[in-house]
Structure 1
Amino acid sequence: MFTRSVVGFASVSAAVAVVAAIAMIGYVFNDIDSFYHDALSKQIRLGTKSFILFTNKTTEKFAARAVMFC
């Protein structure tokens, strides 16, 4: 009788540990996925702002050169 209760307790403990491990893996995966999407959206916004600033600066340089030669 004692052996059966020990084996039953070990089986239930192992099942709980497996379910907890799967839940933690899902949580970590979701956290990494959220971080990836946030970083990607920030990178896209930064790239867009950089492109706009670069375009404006080059346009201003060309406009200044055109005025100088006129």
Structure 2
Amino acid sequence: MVERLNRTFREEFWVHYEEEVDLNTMNFHLKRWTEKVYNRKRPHWSLGYRSPWEYLRDTGFVECPT
């Protein structure tokens, strides 16, 4: 699973990252991308092509704010 996540970061985040290569700046942008894109918009094969947010909302596992 870790290798797959690293591949996703390489293919979908790092290729578009154009900010300064500073650890604090990179962590900020990576965290923001993970919250906004990876967890809310990006479909995941293992979740039936739903984002984690959609999966949790649809299964009623937790109440997800909009």
If the length of structure 1 is used for normalisation, what is the TM-score?
Answer: 0.30
Q: Structure with the greater relative contact order (CA < 8 A, sep ≥ 6): 1 or 2?
A: 2
Larger Rg: 1
Instruction: Kindly indicate which of the two structures has a greater share of residues assigned to helix.
Output: 1
If the length of structure 2 is used for normalisation, what is the TM-score?
Answer: 0.31
